[in-house]
Amino acid sequence: MLHHFHIVFARRGDGGPAPRFVTMLEREAHERGMTFVHCQNHEQAETLRWELYRGHLHIDCLIDYMGRSFRNDYELGCAVKDTGGIVLDDPDRVKIYGDKAIIHQELEHVGLAMPRTLLWQPGDPNRDLTPEEQAYLGPRIVCKPARGSGSGGVVLGMAPTAAALADARDYDDEDTYLLQEFVEPIDLEGRPAWFRVYNCFGTIFPCFWNPESHATELVTPEQIPRYGLYELERISQKIALVSGYTWFSTEIALTWRSGRLAFLPIDYLNNKCFMLTHEEFGPSGMPTQVAAAVAQEIAEQTFRRARRMRTAHTVPASLFV
């Protein structure tokens, strides 16, 4: 017997109530007559994986919030892909573009303005930055591991010395490191011009994001022309095109660059967006209206895809005449 799950949301369960984002997804799925499953631990994930490969299960859409709590998260994503489903986000693309050094170079190649950056490969020795390198990066330096997640291993205001670089690279001496300029956003009527831009299947949700308090507030339609923020959508679309990600967020700062205003991507790709809403986590949570719109978009895209797949597998009777 073939079981069919339209949407599987994979995230470790902590015994408490599910995040509101999960309940929103479940409601949107049920309103479209679709099945919804919350996979909450490694054992459940392994059951799904082997049922997929045995041909006993089909999953239309896997939403991957597994992280390290699921030991075979990549393998489950591949199993969904191999059996005709989609994964948010594609595990093979995440494996490539989860490397900040790779996506940085790719975005540079397609012409996006980027923070001034030097790449330190694993085999490169630690040394003091040259006067030219210091002039290029500026007086405040940011150092971040290419494969790090969240703020892990990130050093702000690093000294341009071999000792400081060695200390920073102790976080993971096998990783590439990005040494970058410290980007100062301009002020927009009392708030920093720093944004977290969500992208879900090409629908863009730009938000103000405070780098100190992490307070997040949806940009209103009136504020886009008022502050000239059209570039936020273009940058997000370009990053989606390069990476192939379908559900992610990007941090973008508006700053002065060579005497002109420029929008610079700072945190290029976050494929596991923080999902707790304002009601659950306060001002630094995801705006509730964004969470609701994303849940609706994911459910609708899954519903349309499932309908297309059913149509594609329906062979017209006339072919047998």
Q: For the chain of 321 residues, list the mean pLDDT of each consecutive stretch of 10.
A: 94 81 97 96 95 97 88 94 96 96 98 97 96 96 93 94 97 97 96 98 97 96 97 98 98 96 96 93 96 98 89 44 30
Domain boundaries, the chain: 3-89, 116-181, 184-294
pLDDT of residue 15: 63
CATH T-level fold of 184-294:
D-amino Acid Aminotransferase; Chain A, domain 1 (3.30.470)
Buried-state track 16-32, b at ≥16 Cβ within 10 A, e below 16: eebbbbbebbbebbeeb
Cα-based torsion angle of the residue sequence 208, 94, 292, 38 in order, rounded to the nearest 10 degrees:
-140
Q: What secondary structure letter does DSSP report for 277? A: B
pLDDT of residue 312: 58
| Cα–Cα dist 193/212, whole Å | 12
User: Is there a contact between 195 and 208 (Cβ–Cβ < 8 Å)?
Assistant: yes
List the one residue out of 292, 313, 294 whose CA is nearest residue 302: 294
Instruction: Specify the 3-state DSSP secondary structure of 83.
Output: coil
Does residue 89 have a cis bond before it (omega within 30 degrees)? yes
Indicate the burial class of 232 (C-beta count within 10 angstroms; 0-12, 13-18, 19 or more).
buried
* 116-181 carries CATH number 3.30.1490.20: yes
CATH T-level fold of 3-89:
Rossmann fold (3.40.50)
pLDDT of residue 314: 44
Q: What is the pTM of this model?
A: 0.93
List the one residue out of 251, 278, 302, 271 whose CA is nearest residue 99: 271
